[in-house]
Structure 1
Amino acid sequence: MKLAAVGLLLAGVATADPKADYAEYCAECHGAERIGAIGPALTPTTLKRMRGASLTDVIRDGRPATQMPGFGAFLDAPAIDELAAFLKTEPDHIPEWREAAITASRTLDEDYVAADAPIWDADPMNITIVVETGDHHVSVLNGDTFEVLDRFETPFAVHGGPKYSPDGRYIFVMSRDGWVQKYDIWSLKQVGRVRAGLNSRNIAMSGDGKWLAVANYLPNTLTILATDDLSVAKVIEVEGKGGVPSRVSAVYQAPPRESFVLALKDVPEIWEVFYGSNPPHYGFAHDWRIEGPAKNKDPFPVRRITTKDFIDDFFFDQSYEYLIGASRDGKSGQVVDLVIGHKIADLPLAGMPHLSSGITWKRGDTTIMATPHITEGLVTVIDMATWQPIKEIRTEGPGFFMRSHENSPYVWVDVFFGENKDVMHVIDKQSLEIVKTLRPAPGKTVAHVEFTKDGKFALVSIWEDDGAVIVYDALTFEEVRRLPMRKPSGKYNVWNKITFSEGTSH
């Protein structure tokens, strides 16, 4: 939302027109038609599922651990009440967005020609892309020299990590308003775009590289696209038991299982959508089942797993047998065994863990996982053999991202929220102690780390419009280079992503 109308505030004049207030304060993030942009859609259907503080409280005070500020200093109580009432009315028009509309939105660039080999001289496996949300561009970096090979425009408000094809040649980028862009790194050219939803959450690439799954908030669907030409393979309506529609809060691929795994925001279920040629046969049980025609007849059969709580955020162990999830109530986590389709453990994860940034590594004879927390300054470390906490590492404030690399003895975690947002902690993987605290840009937000292919360099974002990507020696923590960027929100190395490095999100 946009902070404005300072003149009205100083003059003591309160606006009373909720449509005008929406246009002034809300449309920039939630869309002129209230169907979502950077922020989610604001319609009666989506708002009635909102948990936590009331709508008037959120408008007045903001929403903790999000980019939603409060507007109590700009709108008085009657104006806030009228705005809340307006948001609970149906918008004038919400477009129908199913296969026909998606197909009609698809464009393939006529001037695109696929190169037979990269047109640049660099290691194709050490390319790193940087998403710059400040002006909606992506920079393509040579991971050896850190030269910018190209800088191309993206759809508005890229959200979630872009996905590489398994060979690392193509990158797929998704925006919050549902646009999916395909870009050829070898040719440094856009291939095309398609709008897979109206308000979308993230995307996942199938292990064989043939399919791209798009998780949507609006409409309540999972759109599956063919990666070769961005055509629609299937639009899956997302409904819980009893026909309750649900947004998809996250979708990730599980390559060994040849499936996409979804968490549903509005019903306590996990879905597994199989894309392989021979999906496993699961018998029927009281809390999970395969839906769709018989095996091999439906190309994307759905298995549903009932959970004890809503799962809004999750990641996998390296075997992809266990899903580690957390609810946005910030009180606990749970481990679901995807083979048997049941929860096997509860996790003491208060403080709203950001589990999509969770990572794992070997420590002694066991494998451990760690996650930062969005509302509390700590990193929780858990033994994955017993699912019991080993240690809580206190940090200088709530964090959002943590990263490592197989060749690095360290974990890097930011302090994204609060007065110490300019801090980056470095933690020793074996001692679980903070060994270095960096402040590369005092007073500015420091966030998100990515490593080069060999793990020798760590790339850190100054998450500001006049920001930068800082290249550090990953062992000495000395700054090597600083690349000016426009709010570089995320960085993604080809090799680390396509090999599913244990030190990065998948």
Structure 2
Amino acid sequence: MKQLILGLAATLMMTAAHAEPTATGDLGLVIERAKGSVLLVDQSDRAALARIEGLGDLSHASLVYSPDERFAYVFGRDGGLTKVDIVTRQIESRVVQAGNAIGGAISDDGKLVAVSNYEPGGVRVFDADTLEMVADIPTGSKTIGLVDAPGRRFVFTMWDTGETWIADFANGSPEITKIPDMGKNPYDALITANGRTYITGLFGEDGLTALDLWDETPEPIRVLPDYGRGQEEMPVYKMPHLEGWALTGREFVLPAVGHPQVLWIDADTLIETGRTQTHGQPVFAMARPDGRQVWVNFAHPLNDTIQVIDSVTKEIIHEFKPGPAVLHMEFTPRGHEVWISVRDANKVMVYDTRTFEKLREIEADSPSGIFFTARAHRTGL
């Protein structure tokens, strides 16, 4: 028996030694919103590797990665939280934790996954290994702008009450700090890469509100309180997203609400430094990783267009039309390429960010969000 066990162990070691190694650093997932599936892609090969199905309603989905880049936690609109193993290319586990969810975050140590809910509202937090719920935080409101912050904390904001809460899990059970008077109907939020500044956009009034999370008792800081006043407001066809925020050197670049503009703000003083008129109402304003360019896509009916802005001159340097319904962009980690989902063409298109040359088209079924595994190592993503 001992010889049999030793022989089996030796066989397994030999099999492992000769197995195809699996590295995840060059991979990513594309949300296929109509099919309830995700498409596993390889950045270097510019190719689709596999489709993983059975993730429910992905009409407004996002995801985060585990620190080792192996697992993706996909947040579906139907309240589903799905853990996907991108090495085995299958679903590891799945729970439907609410009736209507709107994104989530993973703690800085990778142990907790939090989900932001519209119905029944609040935030629910799960063990990243087992997907067992470890905390239920009712808020009496739809929650938006959920991000991770250093120190095993989650920060999120309430659409109905205009409050921001900080849930600190450093000692196990959450300790909640409530910050009122953030503004009327906050709709999305971002956190800076160093975890210091949290900014939420406001739908019910002009401007944004910031928090300094390094402060012992953070207080709301109003940003651009008068932008848009005196102008004719346009109908808001699609809410802009702050999650794909741009930081270019010393300035934030944020999409305006109801106006064809992006707004430039000094990252230290939070004072406006400029505006760039755009093709339409921006949805994402995303910086190339080096900060030298900002790529902008737009709401319906002008959502076939991308504009590229030079972050020094603040001027548009390139405009092109990838196709109908451009929904999302994702840069490769060093920014030499950008991947663009074109929903109604059923394609993901890959472009060189220096020459703007199209390099590849990848077939995908109603693609939306694109998420590369490099996000695993960035706060707020």
TM-score range (shorter-chain normalised) is 0.7 to 0.9
Out of 198, 204, 215, the residue aligned to residue 329 of structure 1 is 204
Report how far residue 121 of structure 1 moved: 5.8
Q: 1:449 to 1:126 in 2, by over 3 A?
A: same
Q: 1:471 to 1:120 in 2, by over 3 A?
A: farther
Q: 1:139 to 1:330 in 2, by over 3 A?
A: farther
Distance in structure 1 (CA, Å) of the matches to 2:176 and 2:355:
48
SS of residue paired to 2:209: strand
- The one-letter code sitting in structure 2 at the alignment partner of 1:342 is E
Partner of 2:245: 358
Distance in structure 2 (CA, Å) of the matches to 1:382 and 1:152:
40
Partner of 1:16: none
Instruction: Could you tell me which runs of 5 or more consecutive residues in structure 1 were left unpaired when the two chains were aligned.
Output: 1-114, 239-244, 277-295
Give the TM-score taking structure 1 as reference length: 0.66
Residue 446 of structure 1 pairs with residue 326 of structure 2: yes
Report how far residue 215 of structure 1 moved: 1.2
8 Å CA contact 1:424, 1:447 repeated in 2:
no
The Cα offsets for residues 359-401 of structure 1, whole Å up to 9 and x where unpaired, read as 2121xxxx11011234221111111222111111111101111
8 Å CA contact 1:126, 1:452 repeated in 2:
no
Distance in structure 2 (CA, Å) of the matches to 1:193 and 1:435:
44
Out of 358, 368, 372, the residue aligned to residue 255 of structure 2 is 372
Hey, which bits of structure 1, 4+ residues long, moved more than 6 A? none
Partner of 1:494: 373
Report how far residue 452 of structure 1 moved: 1.5
Residue 185 of structure 1 pairs with residue 86 of structure 2: yes
- The one-letter code sitting in structure 2 at the alignment partner of 1:493 is F
Residue 313 of structure 1 pairs with residue 188 of structure 2: yes
8 Å CA contact 1:253, 1:261 repeated in 2:
yes
Distance in structure 2 (CA, Å) of the matches to 1:211 and 1:308:
26
Partner of 1:3: none
Report how far residue 485 of structure 1 moved: 1.5
8 Å CA contact 1:155, 1:174 repeated in 2:
no
Partner of 1:342: 219
Partner of 2:10: none
- The one-letter code sitting in structure 2 at the alignment partner of 1:318 is A
Partner of 2:339: 459
Distance in structure 1 (CA, Å) of the matches to 2:48 and 2:16:
21
Greater percentage in helix: 1
8 Å CA contact 1:263, 1:271 repeated in 2:
yes
Give the TM-score taking structure 2 as reference length: 0.86
Distance in structure 2 (CA, Å) of the matches to 1:116 and 1:231:
31
SS of residue paired to 1:498: helix
8 Å CA contact 1:183, 1:192 repeated in 2:
yes
8 Å CA contact 1:206, 1:275 repeated in 2:
no
Distance in structure 1 (CA, Å) of the matches to 2:212 and 2:334:
32
Report how far residue 491 of structure 1 moved: 0.4
Partner of 2:28: 128
Residue 163 of structure 1 pairs with residue 64 of structure 2: yes
Partner of 1:381: 264
Instruction: Could you tell me which runs of 5 or more consecutive residues in structure 2 were left unpaired when the two chains were aligned.
Output: 1-14, 234-238
- The one-letter code sitting in structure 1 at the alignment partner of 2:197 is Y
- The one-letter code sitting in structure 1 at the alignment partner of 2:218 is G
Residue 214 of structure 1 pairs with residue 115 of structure 2: yes
- Higher mean Cα deviation, 400-409 or 136-145? 400-409
SS of residue paired to 1:251: strand
8 Å CA contact 2:183, 2:205 repeated in 1:
no
Report how far residue 216 of structure 1 moved: 1.4
% identity of equivalent residues: 26
SS of residue paired to 1:208: coil
Greater percentage in strand: 2
SS of residue paired to 1:331: coil
The Cα offsets for residues 78-127 of structure 1, whole Å up to 9 and x where unpaired, read as xxxxxxxxxxxxxxxxxxxxxxxxxxxxxxxxxxxxx989x866652121
Distance in structure 2 (CA, Å) of the matches to 1:130 and 1:121:
23
The Cα offsets for residues 182-230 of structure 1, whole Å up to 9 and x where unpaired, read as 0111111210111111111111111111111111122233111101011
- The one-letter code sitting in structure 2 at the alignment partner of 1:332 is G
Give runs of aligned pairs for residues 388-467 of structure 1, distance below 5 A: 388-407=271-290, 409-418=292-301, 420-441=302-323, 444-464=324-344, 466-467=345-346
Larger radius of gyration: 1
Distance in structure 2 (CA, Å) of the matches to 1:440 and 1:318:
30
Report how far residue 344 of structure 1 moved: 2.9
Partner of 2:143: 248
Out of 233, 248, 264, the residue aligned to residue 158 of structure 2 is 264
Report how far residue 408 of structure 1 moved: 5.9
The Cα offsets for residues 445-482 of structure 1, whole Å up to 9 and x where unpaired, read as 22321112332111111121x42111101111000001
- The one-letter code sitting in structure 1 at the alignment partner of 2:189 is F
Instruction: State the structure with bigger RCO (CA 8 A, min sep 6), 1 or 2.
Output: 2
